[in-house]
Amino acid sequence: MFIKALIIFSFLIILAFIPIPLRISLEVKNKKVHIKLFNKSINLHKEKKQSLPKGIKSNKIKYFNLLNRYKSSNFKSNIFIDTYIEYGCNDASLTAISYGTLNSFFYILYPLLQNIFKIKHYNFKIVPNFNKNILHLKTKCIIYINMAQVISILFMYRKSIKEVKAKE
């Protein structure tokens, strides 16, 4: 009996550290948005009820505390990002200016993502099209997360909730 329990426990410990890939894909083409999670399409056109939660301020503080704890943690998920953007305006000067703006945006985005994830692969390609009005965005993202990280995040979340309740 003890041997079986030990084998099951060791199997669960090993399983907790095996990374599970979370695949997210986003594509915007011809004013249509397609999002896939684990290669299953997500419908964005469902109507949502508009209601404001009662504890908006405490929720913001709670998530801000959780984010600060997670940023200082060494237990971050690995991420791989590939982005391809083909865009164009009818005006060549506007296309050129927006090309510089998009490039600077992706270089600003990199350190923000670095606070949350360990970036293993970060590739983006921007292709300006000066002749026609087009927007084609394609992003593929793989986040490797394991059960130990999920448990760690849940403990951080619980601790931040206790801190917010103690302040109130």
Q: Which range of residues forms the domain containing residue 122?
A: 20-44+56-167
Are the C-beta atoms of 130 and 95 separated by less than 8 Å? Answer: yes
Q: What is the pLDDT of residue 80?
A: 95
Look at residue 75 and tell me whether its pLDDT is greater than 70.
yes
Q: What is the pTM of this model?
A: 0.72
Whether 14 is in a domain gets the answer: no
Whether 126 is in a domain gets the answer: yes
Whether 79 is in a domain gets the answer: yes
Whether 10 is in a domain gets the answer: no
Look at residue 47 and tell me whether its pLDDT is greater than 70.
no
Which one is predicted more confidently, 107 or 156? 107
By the 10 Å C-beta count (0-12 exposed, 13-18 middle, 19+ buried), 134 is classed as middle
Whether 7 is in a domain gets the answer: no
Whether 157 is in a domain gets the answer: yes
Whether 12 is in a domain gets the answer: no
What residue has token string 């982005």? 83
Whether 163 is in a domain gets the answer: yes
Domain count, the chain: 1
Are the C-beta atoms of 87 and 95 separated by less than 8 Å? Answer: yes
